[in-house]
A = this chain, B = another copy of it.
Amino acid sequence: MTKILKDEDLVGGALMSIAIDALEAAFLAKACNRLISPPRHHVSFPDRGDLVFTVGGLMGEKPIAGFRVYDTFNGAEHTQIVAVWSADDAKLEGVILGERLGSLRTGAIGGLAIRHLGAPDARNIGIIGSGAQARTQLAAAAAVRNLDRARVYSRDETNRAAFASEMQQALGLDVEPVDSVSKAVDDADIVICATTSQTPVVHAGDLKPGVHVTTVGPKTLQGYELGLDVADAAAVIATDSLEQARAYASPFFLTGSGNDDRMADLADIIAGKAAGRRSSEEITLFCSVGLAGTEVVVASAILRSPALVLRGTSG
């Protein structure tokens, strides 16, 4: 019986923790070369756009394999498909349709970075941006740290107010909209930058010692949301995929800054193969690129979760 889940099935507070724990196992597997994550495969349809496939899998005792596909056609509705097989018995475990899994996955990777890089006693978080990525990054942070308060800034006052009331409700956390970047990040132990800005909106001078910063938005030399001085100030710079960061069409934003070579693989930090935070004063920086193949890992964990099975269409 193949389970089929859609966006409306991917609800509930347990989901983010399930995703983060599944990704922790995947990143540990990556550190010992058991995560399968080949380059994306694009197929073009003339004048229409592409289908883009990212295949992924976890090898080991209970191997899983699968893929995500998304389209770049011209339209308002975009439905991704993620499918997962158990690779030892060829069983198709399930299919997840929609957009929610992708942002859940990216958020969960951010949460994993905070779990391993952020100060253990982080209480305050500042968020720049009020879109879907900002939402899942905040939810992920709340899943790994005992937060007291969040402050959100985005240029549009209505958007940041809506973000604050929605996330306060969803997370049971005090979320305050503020009217400047500095008000959002001044006192923050964790800063999430999740904008579409092509010019830096957060600079090192805005940040307090010991902060963990995640950049989710633009980060190529063509445009980047985070000041280069934040990388200069960071004791640890990590990413979820060195390969993908170095394969961007425009070079990665740290290229030529002297900090590019310091960038570590989050997987190696989690596995203890590379150094992470060493003091409560150090600044840590996580550059989120969206490690390919990890949607499959998250999908598998969700499909196997007893809490969610009953909601999906079985047949």
Query: Using a CB–CB distance below 8 Å, which chain A residues touch chain B?
Result: 2, 4, 6, 8, 36, 38, 41, 43, 45-49, 51, 53, 55, 57, 59, 63, 65-67, 69, 71, 73-79, 81, 83, 85, 87-92, 95, 97, 313, 315
Contacts of A41 in B (CB 8 A): 41, 43, 53
Given A45-B87, A46-B59, A69-B83, output 7 extra A-B contacts at Cβ < 8 Å. A53-B53, A71-B92, A77-B90, A79-B92, A81-B95, A95-B97, A313-B313
Contacts of A47 in B (CB 8 A): 59
Q: Are A65 and B55 in contact (CB under 8 A)?
A: no
Q: Are B63 and A77 in contact (CB under 8 A)?
A: no
Contacts of A36 in B (CB 8 A): 43, 45-46
A299 to chain B, nearest CB (A): 13
| C-alpha gap A41/B46 in the complex (Å) | 19
Contacts of A76 in B (CB 8 A): 89-90
Partner of A2, one of B43, B79, B92: B79
How many identical subunits does the complex contain? 2
**Given contact pairs A43-B55, A71-B65, A313 touches B4 in the complex (Cβ within 8 A):** yes
Q: Are A45 and B69 in contact (CB under 8 A)?
A: no
| C-alpha gap A77/B86 in the complex (Å) | 11
Contacts of A73 in B (CB 8 A): 65, 85, 87-90
A88 to chain B, nearest CB (A): 7
Contacts of A63 in B (CB 8 A): 45, 48
Complex A-B: 21 CB contacts under 8 Å: A2-B79, A38-B43, A48-B57, A48-B65, A49-B90, A51-B66, A51-B85, A65-B73, A71-B85, A73-B87, A73-B88, A73-B90, A74-B88, A74-B90, A75-B88, A75-B89, A77-B89, A78-B90, A81-B81, A81-B95, A95-B97
Q: Which 9 A/B pairs are nearest by Cβ-Cβ distance?
A: A75-B90, A73-B90, A79-B92, A75-B89, A48-B87, A43-B55, A45-B65, A45-B57, A73-B87
